[in-house]
Amino acid sequence: MLVEVVFITQILLVKGTLFESSNKTHISYSFYIENISHLYFKLDFNPKTLEDKQKAKTMIYDCLLKYSNLAEEETWEKYFPLKNLLTLSVDDPKNFRGAAHRQPTDEALLIAYENSSAGFLDGEMINGYWKITISVHSIVTDSCDYELQIWTEG
Amino acid sequence: MKWVTAELHTHTCASDGNFTFEELVQSAKAEDLDVIAITDHNTIHPATHIRKLEKKYNIDIIAGMEWTTFYGHLVILNLHSYIDWRTIGPSQFDVTDIKKSDAILGIAHPFRVGSPIATGCHWEYEVSDWNDIDYFEVWSNVNPNINAANKKAFKFWLDKLNTTKLTAVYGRDWHRPIPADKIVAKNYIGVIGDNMKSGVIDAIKAGRVVVSLAPLIEFTLFDNDHVVNIGEDYFTSNCIVNFKCVITQLNNIPSSLVIKSNLGPIHFANISQDSIIVSNISITSVKWIIAVIEQNTEMVAFTNPIFIRQKE
Ligand SMILES: [Zn+2]
Ligand SMILES: [Zn+2]
């Protein structure tokens, strides 16, 4: 019986800390890959939400005032809790390979010739420098720690 | 010209929607929509996958993306390759390259509350040339006719019509099944020719769109020589013009038909069932006119404008 041996290599585990002032930044990691069949990657960050009710209430009121002045005396709790939002996108050496504009889950994301995760594009796993970008859409907590892991297979 | 129904702003689990692409298409079919645009946040769907679903469900799917930036969301329709958003600063809004393609651009939910409640949702870019923007989501989201942000958008749009052509559309921003206590609207799009998708794109560019909770208003101006449709210019030296509104799918609710212009409302008619209203209006100093159906003082449908161009 022929057994296929699969090599999974962790090529990055990077951590960082973001602040409210980190909003609207992009953080990219670039890495060289050769002869791989699968690229796995996973982003996690904490905290996910702002649980401080007093701070949230002030931020929500400020936001409603800034954008709507609609006399929205509707309950601020409708928007509680405010969320941190970081999204991931990937570029291969030639092309855009998709994005995950959503809250992360425990599952790693995959890009491969086929069966890539939702939001990512199937295709050749070409040799060269690939790039994973974290886009900091929203940090509402005082600080937020993220962790990005990248593995290759093949 | 044929009226088709379309939803132009949708999401799947490829971004932050709850639907798979196939479930979204099934939901669109269940509502009898003729066309949908797939507009996930900052990613695109392969053309082969789109074609497969079109065939399986006998529906037309326009490829698109919601260009979801930190400073505003732009829906791009008829888009066949990814457009980067990650390199554009708040004062660097420039769509020259996109406009070289066949894609059309619409500002999404322009007056929705922004960050930190909904990051980047409020349009904050300076648009230096409104001719670059093909359409505007005057109505967005569920219960669109009573939504306060949409009322602002409607006012803004009417004001813009004094200086530019900008097509109003509805964008549901469809992420998940609609709760039973909420209502949605649709776009009636006036398609010319046999190619549904390019027909829809052309019609949006040309302003042949009626935004509505249900009734269709077929609004035209006419004189001895011409019939003028919504989106078109009517060149005239007359002070009075005839109009015709054919109203269908009204569901027997007491309603009023209002013809609005840059001078305000210029004609009223009470209707309670499908009707054909023919009358005339004075167009002295009128730049544009739209037809609106109201029920209990709330709008339930409105057309895009006919522009009046007074000959000297
Ligand atoms: Zn949006
Ligand atoms: Zn959207």
Residue B311 has pLDDT above 60, yes or no: yes
Residue B163, sorted as left (phi over 0), alpha (psi -120 to 50) or beta, turns out to be alpha
Instruction: Tell me the C-alpha distance between B129 and A15, whole Å.
Output: 42
Q: B41–A99: do the CB atoms touch at under 8 Å?
A: yes
Locate A57 and state its tokens.
């209430």
Confidence of residue B251 (pLDDT cuts 50, 70, 90): confident
Of the three residues B182, B212, B242, the one that is the final residue of a domain is B212
Per-residue model confidence as pLDDT tens digits over B3-30: 999 999 999 999 999 999 999 999 999 9
Q: Domains along chain A? A: 8-48+84-153 (2.60.120.380), 49-82 (no CATH)
B156 at interface of A, judged by CB pairs closer than 8 A: no
- For residues B165 and B30, membership in a common domain is answered with yes
Torsion of Cα atoms, B262 then B267 then B268 then B273, to 10°:
-100
What single-letter amino acid sits at B48?
T
Per-residue model confidence as pLDDT tens digits over B67-125: 999 999 999 999 999 999 999 999 999 998 889 999 999 999 999 988 899 888 899 99
Give residue A40's pLDDT: 98
- For residues B190 and B244, membership in a common domain is answered with no
- For residues B46 and B135, membership in a common domain is answered with yes
Give residue B89's pLDDT: 92
The packing angle between helices B47-57 and B21-30, to 10°, is 30
Among candidates A59, A122, A137 on the partner chain, residue whose Cβ is nearest the Cβ of B120: A137
- For residues B82 and B167, membership in a common domain is answered with yes
Of the three residues B184, B212, B240, the one that is the final residue of a domain is B212
Instruction: Tell me the C-alpha distance between B96 and B141, whole Å.
Output: 29
Give residue A74's pLDDT: 67
Per-residue model confidence as pLDDT tens digits over B205-234: 999 999 999 999 999 999 998 999 999 999
Confidence of residue A73 (pLDDT cuts 50, 70, 90): low
Ligand number with the minimum distance to the CA of B68 = 1
Q: Which residues contact B186 (CB under 8 A, 6 or more apart)?
A: B5, B6, B7, B31, B33, B170, B211, B212
Residue A65 has pLDDT above 90, yes or no: no
Å between A60 CA and nearest CA of chain B: 7
| B299: containing domain | 216-310
Query: What HEC string does chain A produce?
Result: CCCCCCCEEEEEEEEEEEEHHHCCCEEEEEEEECCCCEEEEEEEEECCECCCHHHHHHHHHHHHHHHCCCCCCCCHHHHCCCECEEEEEEECCCCEEEEECCCCCCCCEEEECCCCCCCECCCCCCCEEEEEEEEEEECCCCEEEEEEEEEEEC
The CATH number of the domain holding residue B248 is 2.60.40.1930
- For residues B235 and B136, membership in a common domain is answered with no
Strand partners, A131: A30, A91
Q: A85–B40: do the CB atoms touch at under 8 Å?
A: no
Residue B304 has pLDDT above 60, yes or no: yes
Torsion angles phi and psi, residue A19, rounded to 5: -125, 175
Among candidates B12, B112, B117 on the partner chain, residue whose Cβ is nearest the Cβ of A60: B117
Task: Find out whether B250 and B215 touch, Cβ atoms under 8 Å.
Answer: yes
A121 at interface of B, judged by CB pairs closer than 8 A: yes
The CB-side HSE value for B272 (13 A sphere, CA atoms) comes to 1
Per-residue model confidence as pLDDT tens digits over B31-53: 999 999 999 999 999 999 999 99
The residue-averaged pLDDT of A61-79 equals 77
Of all residues in chain B, what percent carry a pLDDT higher than 70? 100
- For residues B241 and B261, membership in a common domain is answered with yes
The CB-side HSE value for B308 (13 A sphere, CA atoms) comes to 27
- For residues B159 and B171, membership in a common domain is answered with yes
Q: How would you classify the pairing of strands A38-46 and A109-112? A: antiparallel
- For residues B204 and B269, membership in a common domain is answered with no
Give residue A72's pLDDT: 55
- For residues B194 and B258, membership in a common domain is answered with no
Among candidates A72, A85, A99 on the partner chain, residue whose Cβ is nearest the Cβ of B119: A85
Centre of ligand 1 to C-alpha B15, Å, is 11
Residue B66 has pLDDT above 90, yes or no: yes
Per-residue model confidence as pLDDT tens digits over A74-131: 678 889 999 999 999 999 999 999 999 999 999 999 999 999 999 999 999 999 999 9
Of the three residues B192, B212, B232, the one that is the final residue of a domain is B212
- For residues B232 and B175, membership in a common domain is answered with no
Locate A78 and state its tokens.
């409708």
Residues of B in contact with A52 (CB under 8 A): none
Torsion of Cα atoms, B151 then B157 then B161 then B167, to 10°:
-120
Instruction: Tell me the C-alpha distance between B111 and B154, whole Å.
Output: 10
Our count of domains for chain B comes to 2
- For residues B228 and B244, membership in a common domain is answered with yes
Kindly tell me the sign of the dihedral angle through the C-alpha atoms of B204, B207, B211, B217: negative
The CATH number of the domain holding residue B180 is 3.20.20.140
Residue reference for tokens 């027909």: B199
Residue A1 has pLDDT above 70, yes or no: no
Q: Which residues contact A1 (CB under 8 A, 6 or more apart)?
A: none
- For residues B207 and B250, membership in a common domain is answered with no
